[in-house]
Structure 1
Amino acid sequence: MAAAPFLSGCDMALLDPAGPIGAEEKSIIILATCLMLIVVIPVIAMIFLFAWRYRASNKAATFKPDWDHSSKIELAVWGIPCVIIAVLAYVTWVSSHTLEPSRELVADKKAVEVEVVSMDWKWLFIYPELNIASVNELAFPAGTPVHFKLTSATVMNSFFIPRLGSQIYTMPGMETKLSLLADAAGDFDGLSANYSGGGFSDMHFVAHAMTDDAFAQWVEKARAGEGKLTMAKYRDLAKPSEKDPVSYYAEVEPTLYHDILNKCSDGSTCMDATVSLAMAKEVAGGDLQLCNPAKPRG
C-alpha cells in the first residue's frame, strides 16, 4: 500500500484505448482478469479465514484427523476452473479470428499504406502511395484505417502502439501485416517491445493521428525533407545508432522496401528472385518428366 502512490504517474495505456482494436483488447483483458479472480479472491479469503478459524488457541474448531474426502470440495476445485478455462478458450478462439492483425478494417475511408522497417535502433516508415518516408515519426489521418507491412533490417523486433493495440513482430526476410485505426486525433507513444540490443530502451516513436488537413500539412512537411531516400542513403541510415532525431525524406526509391524485405539491399540476389528461380527449375523439371512417356511416374 505504501508503494502504490508511486504508481500514480504511470500511464495505463492498455486500459485507455484510442481505437477499436485497443478497445476490443481492453475488454478481453478485463474479462480474463475477472474470470481468474473468481478463483483468486476466494483462495486469498480462505487463507486468512482458515488461519483464524484453525488457530491453536481456538478450541471450538472441529478436529477431524481421519478426514480425507469431500465430493462438494472436489466438485468446486475441479468444476469451477474447468468452466473458467472453457470460457477463456472460447474467448481466445473468437478474438484470435476477429482481431487477426492482418485483417483489414472496414471503414468509409481508404486505408493509408505504410511500410515499416525496424533497425538498430530506430524506425523507418515508408508511405509508398505518397512516395515519402520518415524516421521515428508516424502520422496518419484519424478515423482512417492504417495498413502496415512490417519487416526488420536486422534482428527480430516488435512494433507496438499500446493505445491502438496489437503488438506485432518484425523479422528479417519476412513480412508481417497489421491494421490499426485511431478514433480521434491525438499523439500516441510507440515503442519497440522486443529486446534488440544496446539501444533498445530509446527505440521510441510518436504516432500522430491527425485531422485530414493537418495530415496534408504533415505530408508537405515531409516532402520538404532530406531529398530522395536511395539505397545508398538507406545503408547509411541502417548503421546502428541511438536516439536518432525525427527526419523526413521527400522521395523514396520505388523498390526500397522490397529490397530490404528480400535482403538484396547489400547488392546480393534478392530472396524472392532466388526462390522464384528455384521453383521455375523444379516446375520445368516436373514438366519434362511428364512429357517423357518412356519414364514411369514416381
Structure 2
Amino acid sequence: MGIGEGCSRIREVLSLLRIYRFLAALPAFVLLGGCQMVLLAPSGDVALQQRNLMLASVALMLLVIIPVMALTIFVAWRYRASAEATYHPNWNHSLPLEVVIWSVPLLIIVVLGAMTWMGTHLLDPYRPLNRISASKPSVEAKAGGNGVAKQPLVIQVVALDWKWLFLYPGQGIASLNEVVAPVDQPIEFRITSSSVMNSLFIPALAGQIYAMPGMQTKLHAVINHAGDFEGFSANYSGAGFSDMRFRFRGVDEKAFGDWVQGAIGKGSPLGRDEYLVLEKPSEREPVRQFRDVPPDLFGAILNMCVDRAKMCTRDMMAMDAKGGGGKEGIHIVAQLEYDKSVRRGGQPMPPRPFVTAICTPTDVYGTAGVTARIAN
C-alpha cells in the first residue's frame, strides 16, 4: 500500500467517524424536544406580558445588531486583499452616515426607555391586576352599567427551611409544597420567610419575588390555563435549597372547591404549636394539607412571635416609637433571645452583654455624667 493510498484510507475513516459522531448526537436533540420553554410560553397573563416585553426589547436591539454584523462581514469581504476596491485616502466625513449612526441607536434607546418605564409601573407586583388576560378585563360588567372588580384570592406564603407553606385565610386551610388556584382568578400573594431570605418564583405565572423574615412582600398574578407548573426558590438558602420546590396547580372553580373541602375534611390541624414543629428544618417534605388554621397565624409568623413567650416585632416597634419602655421595661427585652439558630437546628447563642439600666443625672442642669450598667 502506497503512502497516497494510506492517506486516502485515513481520510475515509475520519469521515466515517464524523458521521457516526453526528448520528450519536441525534438522541440528544430528540431529548431536547421534551423541554418546556415555560419562559417563552407562560400560562399566566403577567408572565406573558413580561415575555412580550423581553421579546420586544430583543427585537429592538437586533435592529442594530443584525445590520452591524452584516456590514462587518460585507466590509471584510469587500475590502479583502485580493479585491479591487476603490481607495479614498482623503475621505473623512459623511453627513447621511453620521445621521444613521447616531439617530437609530438614539431612537431605540428612547423606545426601550419608554417601554421599560411603562412595563415597570404596569407590571408592579404590588399593583392589583387591571386585566385577567388580553381579552378579559378584571372588572366584570353589570346590567346597570357599573362594573365590579373580581376579588383576588389571598394566599399567604411562608418560606421555611426547606419547604413552602401556603396559607389560605379565606378558606381556613393551608398546604405544604403545593399551591392551588382557580383559572382566571386574580391572586394576591403575601410573602414572608421564617428565618433567611428566599425567593418565590413560578415561571409560568409571574416573575420572582423575595421572601424576607420580618417583612412582607406582595405579588399579584393570574393563571389563564389549567395545568401543573413548577415553583421553586430562586435564592440560595442553605443545604436543602436544591429540593426547595413546590407544585402550582391551575384548576377550574369546581376542582378548587373540591380541593378546599378535601383539606378541611382530611387535613391535620395547624395551630401555633404545630407550626413551631413544622418550622424546623427538613428536606423533601411530601405535599399535604392542613385545616383549622388560626387567622392570626401569618401575622404571628411575620412579627416573629408564633411562640407566645416572644414579643412581637410590631409591639416592640410601637414601644420604640413612643420612647421605649424605660427601666421598667428592661426585663421584657432582657428575657428575649435571638433564636434563629435554634429554629434552624443549631445551638443557642452564647449570652451577650446588654444595657439593663441607665443612670440619669441628679440635676437637670448639672454636669454629672451618664453611666450604664452592663449585665450578661
Instruction: Indicate the SS of the match to 1:163.
Output: coil
Give the equivalent residue in structure 1 for 2:272: 231
Give the equivalent residue in structure 2 for 1:123: 164
Give the equivalent residue in structure 2 for 1:188: 229
Task: Summarize the Cα distance change of 1:33–1:231 in structure 2 as closer, same or farther, 3 Å threshold.
Answer: same
Give the equivalent residue in structure 1 for 2:85: 61
Give the equivalent residue in structure 2 for 1:286: none
Give the equivalent residue in structure 1 for 2:192: 151
Answering whether residue 133 of structure 2 is matched by residue 104 of structure 1, we say no
Whichever residue aligns with residue 76 of structure 2, its letter is: A
Deviation of 1:107 (Å)? 4.4
Identity %: 44
How far apart in 2 are the matches of 1:30 and 1:143? 24
CA RMSD across the alignment: 2.3
Q: Scaled by the length of structure 2, what TM-score is found?
A: 0.69
How far apart in 2 are the matches of 1:14 and 1:247? 28
Give the equivalent residue in structure 1 for 2:144: none
Deviation of 1:214 (Å)? 0.7
How far apart in 2 are the matches of 1:54 and 1:213? 70
Deviation of 1:139 (Å)? 0.6
Task: Summarize the Cα distance change of 1:141–1:75 in structure 2 as closer, same or farther, 3 Å threshold.
Answer: same
Give the equivalent residue in structure 1 for 2:119: 95
The partner residue of 1:36 within 46, 50, 61 is: 61
How far apart in 2 are the matches of 1:43 and 1:238? 56
Whichever residue aligns with residue 76 of structure 1, its letter is: V
Instruction: Indicate the SS of the match to 1:198.
Output: coil
Give the equivalent residue in structure 2 for 1:264: 305
How far apart in 1 are the matches of 2:92 and 2:244? 57
The partner residue of 1:167 within 204, 208, 215 is: 208
Deviation of 1:65 (Å)? 5.5
Whichever residue aligns with residue 198 of structure 2, its letter is: N
The one of the two structures with greater contact order (alpha-carbon pairs below 8 A, sep at least 6) is 1
How far apart in 1 are the matches of 2:86 and 2:310? 80
Instruction: Indicate the SS of the match to 1:125.
Output: strand
How far apart in 2 are the matches of 1:7 and 1:70? 49
Whichever residue aligns with residue 257 of structure 2, its letter is: A
Answering whether residue 37 of structure 2 is matched by residue 12 of structure 1, we say yes
The question of whether the paired residues in 2 share the 8 Å contact of 1:107 and 1:145 is answered with no
How far apart in 1 are the matches of 2:35 and 2:89? 51
Whichever residue aligns with residue 120 of structure 2, its letter is: S
The partner residue of 2:98 within 74, 79, 94 is: 74
How far apart in 2 are the matches of 1:99 and 1:129? 25
| Higher alpha-carbon Rg | 2
Once the two structures are overlaid, the 10-residue window that deviates more, 85-94 or 163-172, is 163-172
Give the equivalent residue in structure 2 for 1:48: 73
How far apart in 1 are the matches of 2:110 and 2:101? 15
Give the equivalent residue in structure 1 for 2:315: 273
Task: Summarize the Cα distance change of 1:271–1:34 in structure 2 as closer, same or farther, 3 Å threshold.
Answer: same
How far does the alpha carbon of each residue in 1:158-184 deviate from its partner, in whole angstroms, 9 at most, with x for none? 112112223211111111111111223
Deviation of 1:187 (Å)? 1.8
Give the equivalent residue in structure 1 for 2:108: 84
Whichever residue aligns with residue 39 of structure 2, its letter is: L
Instruction: Indicate the SS of the match to 2:295.
Output: coil
Instruction: Indicate the SS of the match to 1:223.
Output: helix
Deviation of 1:151 (Å)? 0.7
How far apart in 2 are the matches of 1:230 and 1:179? 27
How far does the alpha carbon of each residue in 1:233-260 deviate from its partner, in whole angstroms, 9 at most, with x for none? 2222222222211011112133221111
Give the gaps of 5 or more residues in structure 2.
1-21, 130-137, 141-149, 325-376
Instruction: Indicate the SS of the match to 1:252.
Output: coil
Whichever residue aligns with residue 134 of structure 1, its letter is: S
Aligned residues: 281
Deviation of 1:281 (Å)? 3.5
How far apart in 2 are the matches of 1:31 and 1:274? 48
How far apart in 2 are the matches of 1:254 and 1:220? 18
How far does the alpha carbon of each residue in 1:111-137 deviate from its partner, in whole angstroms, 9 at most, with x for none? 211100112221100001111100000
Give the gaps of 5 or more residues in structure 1.
283-298
The question of whether the paired residues in 2 share the 8 Å contact of 1:225 and 1:247 is answered with no
Instruction: Indicate the SS of the match to 2:158.
Output: strand
How far apart in 1 are the matches of 2:163 and 2:51? 28
